[in-house]
């Protein structure tokens, strides 16, 4: 079973709209990271949020973490066509020095 | 600019053949990793290395081998024992091995297919 799973699997929105992706995990974590992957490319790190943090911002990105619900969300505001990509959450398994990636959310932003 | 270079971008393997994927970094990172990505799935860890001449198996090491003779280089060999090698292979690095609290930097991948 996956430590982290994103929801929805795929999301299609119009340019200018906000996009929200969720990540749920099973065991307690120390940190959670979000990455973006453009088609055929490597992953790019977006944000790291620690278990004692509830919210972090980076430009148009906002990440929240609710450890009581074992979930995180990534909000992209005022989306652009260039935001079209797959988005992955990555968690540690609490006590292990290992990062586990979820299957990702595929985001399409239509111009 | 510092980064990770993977080559080749596309690779084809014949039956019974071993192939080697190259990964070079100039970020001065100690830790390096190899992941396999299948369509619609997340990344699965093949091997990782925290220092020169040391490496550890990840979750799916069978049919793969690595070496770490230089800090900058972490090549992955896909052996003939790997019966389903078709996938997208990603190399990554981080300053130290405690990478649960550190971002990983990724190369742009090698897509391996069977002829």
pLDDT (tens digit per residue) in B14-41: 888 999 999 999 999 999 999 999 987 8
Lowest mean pLDDT among A57-71, A93-107, B41-55, B90-104: A93-107
What Cα–Cα distance (Å) separates residue A107 from each residue in A7, A8, B82?
Answer: 11, 9, 32
With 80 as the cut, is the pLDDT of residue A2 above it? no
Q: Could you give the percent of chain A with pLDDT greater than 70?
A: 93
Residue in this structure with the two tokens 């278990």, named with its chain if needed = A51
* Tokens at B81, concatenated: 């024992």
For residue B108, give the nearest of A33, A42, A92 by CB distance: A42
Q: Which chain A residues contact residue B40 at CB under 8 A?
A: 9, 103-104
The mean per-residue pLDDT over the stretch B54-77 comes to: 96
> Following DSSP, what letter does each residue of chain B receive, concatenated?
---EEEE-SEEEE-TT--EEEEEEE-S--SEEEEEEE-TT--EEEEEEEEETTEEEE-TT-TTEEE--SBTTB--EEE-TT-S---EEEEEEEESSS-GGGSPPEE---EEEEE-
DSSP A21: E
Lowest mean pLDDT among B61-70, B73-82, B91-100: B91-100
Nearest to A65 by CA among A80, A47, A44, A86: A47
Residue A81, classed as helix, strand or coil, is: helix
B95 touches A: beta carbon within 8 Å: no
Distance from CA of B105 to the nearest CA of A (A): 7
Residue of B nearest to A49 (CA): B101
* Tokens at B9, concatenated: 């971008």
Distance from CA of A20 to the nearest CA of B (A): 19
For residue A31, give the nearest of B45, B101, B104 by CB distance: B101
Burial A30-53 (b: 16+ CB within 10 A, else e): bbbbbbbbeeebbbebbbbbeeee
Which residues in chain B (24-83) have CB-CB distances under 8 A to chain A? 35, 40-43, 45
Nearest to A85 by CA among A48, A44, A47: A44
Residue A83, classed as helix, strand or coil, is: helix
What Cα–Cα distance (Å) separates residue B112 from each residue in A34, B48, B88?
Answer: 26, 20, 6
Q: What is the pLDDT of residue B98?
A: 67
With 60 as the cut, is the pLDDT of residue A94 above it? no
Cis amide leading into B8 (omega within 30) = yes
A47 touches B: beta carbon within 8 Å: no
For residue B42, give the nearest of A31, A40, A88 by CB distance: A88
CB contact under 8 A, B92 and A103: no
Size of the A and B interface in Cβ pairs below 8 Å: 59
Q: Which chain B residues contact residue A43 at CB under 8 A?
A: 43, 90, 92, 104, 106
Distance from CA of B90 to the nearest CA of A (A): 7
Q: What is the pLDDT of residue A1?
A: 43
In this prediction, residue B56 has a pLDDT band, given cuts at 50, 70 and 90, of very high
B108 touches A: beta carbon within 8 Å: yes
């Amino acid at each position: 079973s996956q430590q982290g799973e994103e929801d929805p699997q795929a999301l299609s929105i119009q340019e200018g709209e906000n996009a929200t992706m969720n990540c749920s995990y099973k065991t307690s974590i120390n940190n959670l990271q979000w990455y973006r992957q453009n088609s055929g490319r490597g992953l790019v790190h977006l944000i790291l949020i620690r278990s004692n943090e509830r919210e972090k911002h980076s430009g148009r990105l906002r990440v929240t973490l609710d450890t009581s619900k074992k979930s995180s969300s990534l909000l992209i505001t005022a989306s652009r066509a260039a935001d079209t990509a797959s988005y992955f959450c990555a968690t540690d398994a609490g006590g292990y020095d290992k990062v586990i990636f979820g299957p990702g959310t595929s985001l399409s932003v239509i111009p | 600019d510092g980064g990770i270079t993977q080559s080749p971008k596309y690779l084809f393997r014949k039956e019974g053949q071993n192939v080697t994927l190259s990964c070079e970094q100039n970020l001065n990172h100690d830790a390096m990793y190899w992941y396999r990505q299948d369509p619609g799935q997340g990344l699965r860890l093949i091997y990782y290395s925290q220092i020169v001449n040391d490496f550890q198996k990840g979750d799916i090491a069978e049919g793969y081998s690595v070496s770490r003779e230089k800090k900058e280089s972490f090549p992955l060999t896909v052996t003939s024992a790997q019966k389903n090698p078709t996938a997208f292979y990603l190399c990554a690095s981080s300053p130290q091995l405690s990478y649960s609290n550190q971002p990983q930097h990724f190369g742009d991948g090698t897509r391996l297919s069977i002829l």
